Amino acid sequence: MSKWVEIILPLAIRNAYTYRVPDTLSCPQPGMRVVVPLAAKEMVGIVNLVQDEAPDIEPEKIRDIITVLDSEPSVTQKQLDLWRWIANYYMCNLGQVMEAAIPRKLQDRQYSLDPSIRRRIKLPQYEGETSPLKTLSFAQQRATDEVKTAFLEHPIVILQGVTSSGKTEVYMHLIHEQLEQGKQVLYLVPEIALTTQLTERLKQVFGNKLYVYHSRVSDGQRAELYRQVLQFTWAKEKGTSEPKGQLIVGARSAVFLPLVNPGLIILDEEHEPSYKQQDPAPRYHARSVAVMLGKQFGCKVLLGTATPSVDTLYNAKNGKYGHVQLTERYAGIQLPIITLIDLERQYHRREMYGHFSDPLVARIREELSKGKQVILFQNRRGYAPYISCTQCGQVPTCSDCDVAMTVHLSARLLTCHYCGQTQPFLSRCPKCGGEMRIHGFGTERLEDEVRQYFPEARIARMDLDTTRHKDDYQTIIDDFAAHKVDILIGTQLVSKGLHFDDVSLVAVLNADHLLNQPSFRSYERAFQMLEQVSGRAGRHGSRGEVMIQTFDPEHPLYALLQEHQTDTFLNEQLKERESFHLPPYSRMIILTLKHNREERLLSASEYMHQRLVYIFGTRCSNVILPSITRIQSQYIRQINLRFALGENISKAKEMLQTEIDAFSSQPEGKGVNVIADIDPL
């Protein structure tokens, strides 16, 4: 009996590829890796489906698979189901999901998952003594019990606990219970918090049951980790494994691991936008995928945060998710005092040192003299965001992107933060010879100023530029934790989940640009980020302080932040979203069109717009000029689609996909890149 197999190949192709299984090979199962010919090349793909009947293609066009690489599926049936769901929901191809989902090494035909192969890359081992769990405080114990009770009714529960309330300790108790039953636990964290203190804490308690999976571990290690998780799965399926659980800590891509019996999925800092993959496809949100995984395995999902996203809070209010609160910090420490500094008044009175107001300088000096540590937050890297000519006003911009070049003064460079292109720093205008002036400030400039105003202080800076190498991040954090550094300057990298005993003061040098983003989510984001970074202050011993410099101290967001009125703030956001029919009160899809010639793009976008209005009517926006209109020589336009909650969105996606396919094959759309982003952030 001949068999045919549909193969997933790691390519952005829409159509499935079908091959014949030659008589010389035994038929592979779905999820096995095979080598197939593609044009003049050979590629590793994954079997999606096995078919008994020949597909409806001319027989001589169907080629044979070359070899089968696996003796057992390296992708489980559950994973394949999840891939299909993602491809469907996020409107992309299975090949794109495959690329995101399995370690690159598995696409190498030499790589074998066979358990009999003994020589493998070594993963970090956590032998040694483990320590017992900490005893929960009364409030923590109550929250833990409430979470468990909530799980009886809701598969998804949100644990909203203020910063330093001990959410991590609560998780650890819940994890422990699962591991004791031989279950797996998937613990998702935003990328950057990973390499730091969390794994340290977890390995002390869970020892070698801990597995860490994220993009900073090498490709070989990722593959080995995948293999070990798969091994566990095979063993469980055959009933041969010891009753040992597995704790997998990972960034968003860990949702793709071959799980078998997860008892709990934890997604910490659920409000973090980095859980959504922006580019390339699949543009998935790890929170949505985690919820889906929970459904697949019938397992509980716990979303943790100090500042829930508006979307999650909506689900809690609806009764769809359980909701548990932890309102006090561990050990009775109070949440930090938040002080606002009016920059307009400070500048007017000339009471500024560079970008530091007098009161801030005084407080930093005071804290340093007491032997405390300070964190300075500015969410912009580089020296300054742009320069301009004092005579003709000329601003140097990137030749390929429609953005100003960022100043990196120590390197004497101007850099595009969108494509990475650089050019030498200009002190004179290339057009008129006028003098160039530097505007605004980033972390690099702050560092310069700190050296000038606090010459005795030991300083470190943490941003993308200072953490290019694998261990940089760790080194900076270790040094700061060991108090070898007094002042830590950083972008949002310093805001996430870190714990330092001696930090008594956190300063936000300019909060205004956080609030002034061109998105309906900008206040939500700003609040989350400010609350998060504030949460680094005064976590041990005595109450901390946060100083926020702003030109707009009357902004209502600050009053709520000062009172730590997260719920009031979020409820107001919900009301606003409702009255403007914005998510979560509607569903959005953003269609992005790109082409390297602007006129072509314009007419193509207009054409597409007409088609979409014809189908979707008023659900379709006009053609929108995004805030950055060109990146890497590609001009960009967008069309937003917005659906009411009751509408059949899967049907709408199908219609949209049909339209995109038709568009691409018509002269109007040829060569225009069309990207659909579902539930965009």
Contacts of 156 (CB under 8 A, 6+ apart): 291, 294, 300, 301, 302, 303, 315, 320, 321, 322
Instruction: Give the footprint of Zn ion on this chain (CB under 5 A).
Output: 398, 400-401, 416, 418-419, 421
From residue 315 to residue 354, what is the string marking binding to ligand ADP with x (rule CB under 6 A)?
A: ---------------x------------------------
Which partner from the list ligand ADP, Zn ion, none does 663 bind, CB cut-off 5 to 8 Å by kind?
none
Of 228, 286, 294, 243, the residue nearest 265 (C-alpha) = 294
CB of 144 to ligand ADP, least distance (A): 10
Q: Which of 46, 136, 509, 631 binds ligand ADP (CB under 6 A)?
A: 136
Q: How far apart are CA 172 and CA 167, in angstroms?
A: 9
Q: Which residues contact 533 (CB under 8 A, 6 or more apart)?
A: 375, 377, 492, 494, 495, 506, 508, 546
User: Nearest distance from residue 200's CB to ligand ADP, in Å?
Assistant: 11
- From the list ligand ADP, Zn ion, none, pick the one residue 400 interacts with, judged by a Cβ distance below 5 to 8 Å according to partner type: Zn ion
| Distances in whole angstroms, Cα of residue 208 to Cα of each of 120, 127, 128, 134, 291 | 17, 6, 9, 19, 27
Which span sits near ligand ADP by CB under 6 A: 109-117, 163-171, 183-191, 210-218? 163-171
Work out whether 96 is an interface residue with ligand ADP (CB under 6 A): no
For strands 17-21 and 3-8, give the pairing. Answer: antiparallel
Among 173, 317, 417, 499, binds ligand ADP (CB under 6 A): 499
| Binding flag, residue 134, ligand ADP (CB under 6 A) | yes
165 binds ligand ADP (CB under 6 A): yes
531 binds ligand ADP (CB under 6 A): no
Nearer to ligand ADP, 172 or 462 (CB): 172
Q: Kindly tell me which of 175 and 590 has the beta carbon lying closer to ligand ADP.
A: 175
CA 610 to chain centre: 34
**Residue 492 to residue 191: CA distance in whole angstroms:** 12
Nearest by Cα to 79 from 50, 48, 55, 103: 48
* Nearest distance, CB of residue 378 and ligand ADP, angstroms: 23
Shortest Å, Cβ 306 to ligand ADP: 7
Residue 137 is a binding residue for ligand ADP (CB under 6 A): yes
Number of shown-chain residues binding ligand ADP (CB under 6 A): 16
- In whole angstroms, how close is the CB of 393 to ligand ADP at the nearest point? 47
CA 313 to CA 294: how far, in whole Å? 19
Q: Does 377 bind ligand ADP (CB under 6 A)?
A: no
DSSP 8-state secondary structure symbol assigned to residue 356: E
Residue 461 pairs in a beta bridge with 489
Among the listed residues 344, 431, 440, 354, the one whose alpha carbon sits nearest the alpha carbon of residue 390? 431
Rg for the chain, CA atoms, rounded: 27
Among residues 463, 278, 456, which one has the least CA distance to residue 380? 463
Bond prior to 308 in cis (omega within 30° of 0): no
- Distance in Å, CB of 279 to Zn ion, minimum: 15
Contacted by 140, from ligand ADP, Zn ion, none: CB < 5 to 8 Å by type:
ligand ADP
Minimum CB separation of residue 376 from Zn ion in Å reads 28
Q: Which is nearer to ligand ADP, 85 or 480 (CB)?
A: 480
Nearest to 679 by CA among 296, 299, 275: 275
* b/e map 253-278, b = 16+ CB within 10 Å: bbbbbbbbbbbbbbbbbbbbebbbbe
Q: Which of positions 167-206 make contact with ligand ADP (CB under 6 A)?
A: 167-169
The one segment of 159-167, 349-357, 590-598, 651-659 that binds ligand ADP by CB under 6 A? 159-167
Q: Which does 416 bind (CB under 5 to 8 A by kind): ligand ADP, Zn ion, none?
A: Zn ion
96 interface partner picked from Zn ion, ligand ADP, none, CB below 5 to 8 A per type: none
Beta carbon nearer to ligand ADP, 331 or 464: 331
Token pair for 192: 């950057």
> Is 352 exposed, middle or buried (CB count within 10 Å of its CB: 0-12, 13-18, 19+)?
middle
**Angle, in degrees to the nearest 10, between helices 566-579 and 522-534:** 170
401 binds, among Zn ion, ligand ADP, none (CB under 5 to 8 A by kind): Zn ion
User: Which part of the chain contacts ligand ADP (CB under 6 A), choosing from 131-139, 178-186, 212-220, 222-230?
Assistant: 131-139
| Nearest-approach distance from CB 632 to Zn ion, in angstroms | 6
Residues 138 and 146: beta-carbon distance below 8 Å: no
Q: One symbol per residue from 537 to 576: x for binding ligand ADP (CB under 6 A), - otherwise; what is it? A: --x-------------------------------------
Does 163 engage in binding with ligand ADP (CB under 6 A)? yes
* Secondary structure (3-state) at 659: helix
How many other C-beta atoms can be found within 10 angstroms of the C-beta atom of residue 569?
23
Point out which span in 40-48, 81-89, 119-127, 136-144 binds ligand ADP (CB under 6 A): 136-144
Q: Residue 371 has which token pair?
A: 């032997």
Stretch that binds ligand ADP, among 44-52, 67-75, 165-173, 635-643 (CB under 6 A): 165-173
Contact between 161 and ligand ADP (CB under 6 A)? yes
Quick one: what does residue 174 bind among Zn ion, ligand ADP, none, with the CB cut-off 5 to 8 Å set by partner type?
none
Indicate which of ligand ADP, Zn ion, none lies near residue 418 (CB less than 5 to 8 Å, by partner kind): Zn ion
Main-chain phi, psi angles of 443, to 5 degrees: -60, -35
Q: The tokens of 229 are what?
A: 């998780």
Cβ atoms of residues 353 and 541 within 8 Å: no
Binding partner at 168 among Zn ion, ligand ADP, none, C-beta below 5 to 8 Å by kind: ligand ADP
Q: Where are any strands of DSSP class E within 596-651?
A: 620-624, 630-631, 634-644
In the set 18, 74, 107, 140, which binds ligand ADP (CB under 6 A)?
A: 140
602 to 631, contacts with ligand ADP by CB under 6 A? none
CB of 269 to ligand ADP, least distance (A): 9
Q: Rounded to the nearest whole angstrom, what is the least distance from the CB of residue 596 to Zn ion in the complex?
A: 14
Q: Which does 419 bind (CB under 5 to 8 A by kind): Zn ion, ligand ADP, none?
A: Zn ion
Task: State the residues that interact with ligand ADP by CB under 6 A.
Answer: 134-137, 140, 161, 163-169, 330, 499, 539
